[in-house]
Amino acid sequence: MNNRFQAHSFHIPVMGLGYTIDSPVKVAQYGIPSVISLADDILMEKMREFYSLKLDLPFQAISEKIDDFRAKRITAYLNLIDKIVKEKFEELKNSIQKKGSEFEKYMEMLPDASSIKLKFNQLKEQTNVKDLIAWIQQNLHVGSIDVNIMTKLDRENYKDGEKLPPEYNDAHAALRGFAESKLSSSIVFSAGMSPRLYSYVEKFKDFYPDETGVTKKKIILKVSDYRSALVQGKMFAKKGLWVSEYRVESGLNCGGHAFATQGYLMGPILEEFKNSRETFIQSLFEIYSHALKEQNRPCPENAPGFRITAQGGVGTAEEHSFLLDYYGLDSIGWGSPFLLVPEASNVDKETIKLLCEGTEDDYYLSGISPLGVPFNSIRGNSKDIEKMENVRNGSPGFVCTKRKLVYNTEFTERPICTASKPYQKLKIKQLQDKQLPEAEYQKEFDKIVEKACLCVGLATTALMVNNIDLKNHGGGVTICPGPNLAYFDQTYTLRQMVDHIYGRTNLMTHKNRPHMFVKELQMYVEYLKNKLDETIKPIADKQMEYFRLFQKNLNEGISYYRSLFSNSKPESKVFTDLERLEKQLNDIELTQA
C-alpha cells in the first residue's frame, strides 16, 4: 500500500511556525521525516540568511518590493534546505568506516525489526567494504522534507491599495513556493478543506504522475474523521490528483489549534478507516483514473500507494506499537515530545524549563488564538506574560507587524487581527458602552484581551535559539504543546527519544498517566461541559440537538473502548478511568433552561 519508503515508523509533524522550521536539517539524514510550516516567509528568509552565512553560501535577499516575493522566498528556502539535507546525507553514508559516526547513529536508531538494519548486520559480516558501500547507497533513505499549509491562513494581499488576484493570497503563494521548489516530498493541508486552494493545485505538473508513474510532489490531508477524508479525497480525485496519505489527528489531544469533532473519538475513527480501507481506495481510484484519462495524462494501472497515519497524544512505545499493529497504520506522529529534544526542534531555554516543569493543570485548551479556534497552550509562557503587562499598562493588544491573522471586519473595512491593539481598543470601547454589571463586564473583557499574537510568538524561539536578530519580534514566546507533554519532565537527546518510541528505554516517569484514548475522552467530556456553560440560556433546539448527539457519540466511544480493551485485566486503570468518565458524562444535564 505504501509507495513512499520510510526508514522509521514515526514522523515529526509541524509544530508552530518556528519549532520545526529547520527540523529536516537536524533529523532528515537519519531517515526521520519532519514537516516545515510555510506560513511565515519572513522567518524563512531570516533562516535562509542564517544558514547561508553559517555554511559560507551566497545569499541574495528577496525584498518585499519585488513581485511574488512570498512564493520566491519559500522556494529559495526549501531549495536551500534540500541542498543541505542531501549533502549531510551523503556525508553520513560515507562515514561507514568511522567508529561513532553519523552512519552508526543512523543504523542504531532504526527499529530493531527494520529490514534495512537486519540486512546490514548480515552483510557487514560477509561482504567487502566496497560492495557494502554500494549496498548502502542503494538502500539507505533520507527522511522526507514535508511542508504544511494551514488552509484557513489564506489572507488576501494588497499592493498600492489594490487587492491582488487570489493566487497572491498567503496559502496560494505558499503552495506555489513549494510547487516550484526542487523538493520531491509532500505537502500537508490542515485545518479543513479549501476548494479554491485545492483547485489551484491543478496548475502544477509535479502533483501529477509522469510517464513512469512517479509523482514528484504528493498530497497529504490532515483529517479528523473518515467522512471528511472521503469527501476531500474525492474532491482531489475528480481533478486527477491523488491523496497519498490521510493523517488522522485527535480533535483535542494534540498540539496547536484543536478542531473538535462532534464527540467522535480517535479509536472509533481509526476503526472505521481500518474496516473501510480497501473500499475507500478503490472508490477513489475509479474517480482518479477516469479524471486522468479525460485529461489525457498518464494513468497508472493500479491505485498508487496509500498511507493512513495518526497523531495526537501518543506517548509510550506500547501505544505506538498498538496503533501500528491493530489499526494497520503506516506511521505515527510524535510531535510535542520532540519540543524537549534540542537536536530536533527550536525551543529557547526559558520555554524548555517551563515545559519540563509543567503539570497537567498547566497544559490547557486556551482561547488565545485570533482565529477563534481552541488552542493548546501552557500557562506562564512569556508571550502571555507580555500580554498581561500590556493590559496592566492600559494598552492591551499587540502591534501587528506580520498581519498573518487579519480576518476580522467587525469595525473596519480592511480586516484586522483580534489580538491587535486597534481591534482591542475598539472592542473594549464597545463593551464599555454596554454598561454591564462588573462581574459580567470583567468576564467579557478577559475574553477580549486573552488573544495573543501568534504570528510573532510562534516564530520568535527559532530566532532566539539561533541568535538571530529579534527585530519586529520582541522577546515573547508562544508555545503550542499538546497536554501529553505534562508526562515528560526533562530534555532528551534524539537517540533517547527514538529509543523511547521503540521501547528500548522508557522516559515516562509519571505512573498515573492515562492512556492516550482515555485522555482524549476526558478532554471531550470537559469540552462538552464548558460548551454547555458558555451557551446562552434557554438553549435553542438546534444547539440542544448538537449537544445530545455529542453526548451520544461519546457514550458509543466508551462502549467501543470497553470492547477494545476487553483482554485487559478487570482492575486495569483503563476500565476504572472509563467508568469514572462515563459517570461524569451522563451526569451532565442536557436541559434547555
Whole-angstrom Cα distance, residue 14 to residue 37? 6
Residue 47 lies in a domain: no
Mean pLDDT of 263-269: 98
Q: Which of 121-135, 296-310, 439-453 has the lowest mean pLDDT?
A: 121-135
Query: Residue 166 carries which side chain, given as an amino acid letter?
Result: P
Cα dist from 14 to 39, 199, 508, whole Å: 11, 23, 23
**Mean pLDDT in residue range 193-200:** 96
Over range 23-38, report the average pLDDT: 98
* pLDDT of 126: 83
Tell me if 560 is assigned to some domain: yes
Residues 447 and 351: their CA atoms lie apart, in Å, by: 24
Question: pLDDT tens for residues 507-523?
Answer: 998 888 999 999 999 99
Q: What distance, in Å, lies between the first and last C-alpha atoms of the chain?
A: 52
* Nearest to 19, CA basis, from 2, 36, 44: 36
Q: Cβ distance 103 to 95 under 8 Å?
A: yes
pLDDT tens-digit map of 392-420? 999 999 999 999 999 999 999 999 999 99
Question: Which of 454, 445, 576 has the alpha carbon at shortest distance from 522?
Answer: 576
Judged by DSSP in three states, 347 sits in coil
**Predicted confidence (pLDDT) at residue 3 exceeds the cutoff of 50:** no
Q: Is the peptide bond before 166 cis (omega within 30 degrees of 0)?
A: no
**Within-domain flag for 593:** yes
- Residue 144 inside a domain? The answer is no
Banded model confidence at residue 240, pLDDT cuts 50, 70, 90: very high
Segment 323-358, tens digit of pLDDT:
999 999 999 999 999 999 999 999 999 999 999 999
Model confidence at 571, in pLDDT bands (50, 70, 90)? low
> CB of 142 within 8 A of CB of 28?
yes
Residue 118 falls inside a structural domain:
no
pLDDT of residue 509: 81
Q: What would the pLDDT profile of 267-301 be if each residue is shown by its tens digit? A: 999 999 999 999 999 999 999 999 999 999 999 99
Domain count, the chain: 1
Q: What is the pLDDT of residue 472?
A: 64
Report if residue 532 sits inside a domain: yes
Q: How far apart are CA 477 and CA 384, in angstroms?
A: 8
SS3 189: strand
The set of cell numbers assigned to 39 is 506560513
Strand order in the sheet with 34-37: 10-11, 331-333, 307-311, 243-249, 218-223, 186-190, 145-150, 34-37
Q: Is the residue at 98 inside a domain?
A: no
Q: What is the pLDDT of residue 4?
A: 55
pLDDT, residue 561, reads 97
pLDDT reading at 1 higher than 80: no
**Overall average pLDDT of the 57-73 stretch:** 97
Number of H helices, E strands in the chain: 21, 12
89 has a pLDDT exceeding 60: yes
State yes or no: pLDDT of 221 exceeds 50.
yes
pLDDT in tens, 46-60: 999 999 999 999 999
What does the pLDDT average to over 156-168?
93
Decide if pLDDT at 2 tops 50. Answer: no
DSSP alpha helices (H): ranges in 358-453?
382-392, 421-433, 438-449
Identify whether the C-beta of residue 480 lies closer than 8 Å to the C-beta of residue 384.
Answer: no
The proportion of the chain whose per-residue pLDDT surpasses 90, expressed as a percent, equals 90
Please check whether residue 199 lies inside any domain of the structure. Answer: no
pLDDT digit string (tens) for 482-507? 999 999 999 999 999 999 999 999 99
**Segments forming the whole domain that contains residue 588:** 514-593
DSSP 279-298: HHHHHHHHHHHHHHHHTT--
Place 5 in a pLDDT band, splitting at 50, 70 and 90.
Answer: confident
pLDDT computed for residue 6 by the predictor? 87
Predicted pLDDT of residue 510: 87
The predicted pLDDT at position 70 comes to 98
Other beta carbons within 10 Å of 226: 21
In this structure, the dihedral spanned by the alpha carbons of residues 74, 245, 216 and 237, taken in order and rounded to 10 degrees, is -100
SS (H, E, C) 492-530: CCHHHHHHHHCCCCCCCCCCCCCCHHHHHHHHHHHHHHH
